Structure 1
Amino acid sequence: MKRKLKYAIGIVLVLIPLLLPFVYKYKDYLDDKLIDITVIGQVVENQDTYLIVRLDSDGHLCEAGKPDSLEDLSEFKVGDKVSITYSGGIREQIPAILAEVNKIELVEK
């Protein structure tokens, strides 16, 4: 019985270091996977290439760059409610910059 237990412990101790690289590789894969996030806010300022938006969720200001799918940002006026979908995270600055903006749409009032 003790002999089988020693073999089992030995096998586990050998397998753990062999499997760890695969576990870390999968964890890195999950961390790199992009997830689209949508936020809603009110336009505070409209520039040619970006919008400054006050988020409804926390009241912070953020900058959303023009996505490739839009010709220009002239359709968005100060005070409009907009929905912004982005996937690149937030660059910590003031105002925060939403990275890799995919879509900006007007929200029905």
Structure 2
Amino acid sequence: MRSYVLMALVMLCLMAVMALIIPFIVAVKLLLFSAIECWLHNYRYALVFAVMSDFFTLNKTLRLVAAGAWCGFLISLPICWKMWRSITRYDPLDKYFK
């Protein structure tokens, strides 16, 4: 029973962590790329925040969080499968067929 709880906790923790990491990675990437674009074309750097506010609407942020949770779920599947296969099973007939 402990391993089932542990598998559920691993899955939930990975989903929560990835739901926070994926939007952060996208935000940093967009911030850097828009700053480089402004630097290369001699635009005002205030355009960076305009790009960020246009990109990160509520819908897109929620979609990024959902994509991160989905990535966390997919990453947790092989981990949980390995934990599931490592559980020792009790067979009551083992004492008769040794």
* TM-score, normalised by the number of residues in structure 1: 0.31
* TM-score, normalised by the number of residues in structure 2: 0.34
Greater helix fraction, Structure 1 or Structure 2: 2
Greater strand fraction, Structure 1 or Structure 2: 1
